[in-house]
Amino acid sequence: MTVDTPIGEKIIECVDTALERALGGSAKYVIYFYLEKDFGLKKNEIHEKPETFCRGVSSIFGEEGAKIIEECIIQKMKQSFKLKQRHKSTFVEVILTIKGRQK
């Protein structure tokens, strides 16, 4: 499956940028490899399967480490999509909000 929407592409771009900023380029590619190998999740499917992405990141970094990575990604998405959520949101919730705004 491919990223076939501008929203999907922008979400993937946010994830990509946040991972690179937080961990560096090499680590980002290792994470994508691990997610595809062990979870069957391709990079271009992250916006369609955010729960799988979160499970994979948790298995790599543990719960606390995953929360930090997730927060970096959420901040990038809020910035890119101009979201003004006041409460703490999960990665999945932010993606659902973004997709809901586009309907």
- H helices within 24-90, ranges in order? 25-39, 50-81
pTM of the predicted structure, to 2 decimals: 0.88
pLDDT digits (tens, 9 = 90+) for 47-83: 999 999 999 999 999 999 999 999 999 999 999 999 8
Q: What percent of the chain has pLDDT over 90?
A: 81
pLDDT digits (tens, 9 = 90+) for 87-97: 788 999 999 99
The closest alpha carbon to 77, from 59, 97, 63, belongs to 97
Please name the residue that has the structure tokens 């990604």.
73
The burial of 102, by beta-carbon neighbours within 10 Å (0-12 exposed, 13-18 middle, 19 or more buried), is given as exposed
